[in-house]
Amino acid sequence: MSLFDLAGKNAFVTGASRGIGRSIAVALAGAGADVALVARSERGLAETAADITALGRTALVIPADVTSQPAVDAAVAAAIGQLGHVDVVVNNAGGSNFMVAFLDLRLSGWEKIMRLNLDSAVYVCHAIGGHLLERAEGSVINVASVTGMTGSPLLAPYGAAKAGLISLTKSLAVEWGTTGVRVNALCPGWTATELNRSLWDDPVSGPATVATVPMRRWARAEEMAGPAVFLASAASSYMTGQVLVVDGGQTVWP
């Protein structure tokens, strides 16, 4: 267990009000970390915070919109100010609320998805990178998607943003390689959350969606938590710039 121990560590998790972000935040607390929770929904954040305090850890609720750089700057300052320091950063806020053929895509839609899935992580890394480097330790986990590893018909902005996030991960890993700060990406496959309820909740489209997944089922959000704790902890101390794919085998099935 000590390999995965996060006692004395503080984490900053975006998109922590539900879904994968909540599962990761609670799992980090379960491994011993105190956690700053960032998202827009104060109610969702309060629910996540309750799960964390039940584990005997501190949860700091920071309502913020990660698509606003000033809001991200303020959130990072609040986390460092109130927790003292931050060791683990999880850029998890993201998603796409539409699917559209490329020629029907409005530029405003492209910009919105890029801001949420890529620019937000840039804002966070920019705001917190100096702090991590100064302390010469840290683990940044960018929650990308298998969508960023393949072509993504009808989801071009989302796929491009996640591909960009994977590239950002690799660039920062190289730039920060000797600093003690590691940067990795976690790529979930189909995971049943609010993001895609309309798919998995449907008796036809639910199984059809995972028909090309060797494990033939949707992931649960909690199944992203173990890989995140692994990337956050000393268990992955020689890993940086990597893409950890958690997809039930989807990307290896031709």
Ligand X SMILES: NC(=O)c1ccc[n+]([C@@H]2O[C@H](COP(=O)([O-])OP(=O)(O)OC[C@H]3O[C@@H](n4cnc5c(N)ncnc54)[C@H](OP(=O)(O)O)[C@@H]3O)[C@@H](O)[C@H]2O)c1
What residue ranges bind ligand X (CB under 6 A)? 14-21, 39-41, 44, 65-67, 92-95, 116, 143, 145, 188, 190-191, 193-196, 221
What are the residues facing 246 on neighbouring strands? 188
Nearest approach, Cβ of residue 63 and ligand X (Å): 8
Q: Which residue, chain included where needed, has tokens 């919109």?
A: 65
The rounded distance, in Å, linking the Cα atoms of 232 and 224 is: 12
Phi-psi region of 11 (alpha: psi -120 to 50; beta: other; left: phi over 0): beta
Q: Is 123 a catalytic residue?
A: no
Q: Which of 123, 158, 176, 190 is catalytic?
A: 158
| Assigned token pair, 240 | 């940086």
Q: Based on CB atoms, which residue is closest to ligand X, 10 or 96?
A: 96
Q: Based on CB atoms, which residue is closest to ligand X, 95 or 226?
A: 95
Question: In degrees to the nearest 10, what's the CA dihedral of 25, 28, 34, 40?
Answer: -10
Nearest approach, Cβ of residue 226 and ligand X (Å): 15
Nearest approach, Cβ of residue 180 and ligand X (Å): 26
Nearest approach, Cβ of residue 7 and ligand X (Å): 26
Q: Based on CB atoms, which residue is closest to ligand X, 6 or 155?
A: 155
Q: Based on CB atoms, which residue is closest to ligand X, 10 or 145?
A: 145
Q: Answer for the pair 49, 16: CB distance below 8 angstroms, yes or no.
A: no
- Is residue 95 classed as helix, strand or coil in its secondary structure? coil
| Active site amino acids | 158
